[in-house]
């Protein structure tokens, strides 16, 4: 019995049928998760999608779900920020009116304010 090592340029035989196995995209599953989360939890989905896209790109793959997650996550995050700012501005405005008007229901300029 010999302990001979295969030559350094040795390559294993291809699987039956002659086809080499296709390499897996390392960011594919993460890209799908990022896409789903970008709809539900915008910022988290955006971050995960960016990570998945970067992993896939480094491995030479195109990760469409991750790209979609980046776009959707970015748009929904921007909309969330704008809506939050509007809500804060309106709440501060109403709170300012209530400080002047006191508790109760007040109609001023056609706008009804309910102050407690």
The predicted-structure confidence for 87-104, as pLDDT tens digits, reads as follows 999 888 877 777 777 788
Mean pLDDT, to the nearest integer, of 105-115?
82
Q: Identify the residue with better confidence: 51 or 96.
A: 51
* Beta strands 104-108; 111-115: pairing state: antiparallel
Contacts of 39 (CB under 8 A, 6+ apart): 45, 72, 76
| pLDDT > 70 fraction of the chain, expressed in percent and rounded | 82
Rounded distance between C-alpha atoms, residue 38 and residue 29, angstroms: 14
Q: What is the largest CA-CA distance in the chain?
A: 100
Rounded distance between C-alpha atoms, residue 90 and residue 69, angstroms: 31
Q: Identify the residue with better confidence: 76 or 111.
A: 76
Position 98 scores a pLDDT of: 76
Position 83 scores a pLDDT of: 97
Helix (DSSP H) and strand (DSSP E) numbers for the chain: 3, 2
Residue 84: which pLDDT band, with cuts at 50, 70 and 90? very high
The length of the chain is: 116
The continuous run of DSSP H or E covering 24 comes out as none
Residue 74: which pLDDT band, with cuts at 50, 70 and 90? very high
């Amino acid at each position: 019995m010999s302990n001979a090592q295969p030559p350094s340029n040795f390559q294993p035989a291809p699987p039956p049928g002659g086809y080499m196995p296709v390499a897996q995209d390392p960011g594919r599953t993460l890209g799908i998760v990022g896409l789903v989360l970008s709809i539900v939890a915008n910022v988290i989905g955006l971050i995960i999608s960016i990570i998945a896209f970067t992993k896939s790109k480094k491995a030479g793959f195109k990760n469409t779900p991750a790209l979609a997650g980046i776009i959707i996550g970015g748009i929904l995050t921007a909309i969330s920020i704008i809506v939050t700012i509007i809500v804060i501005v309106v709440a501060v405005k109403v709170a300012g009116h209530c400080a002047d008007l006191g508790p109760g229901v007040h109609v001023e300029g056609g706008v009804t304010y309910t102050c407690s």
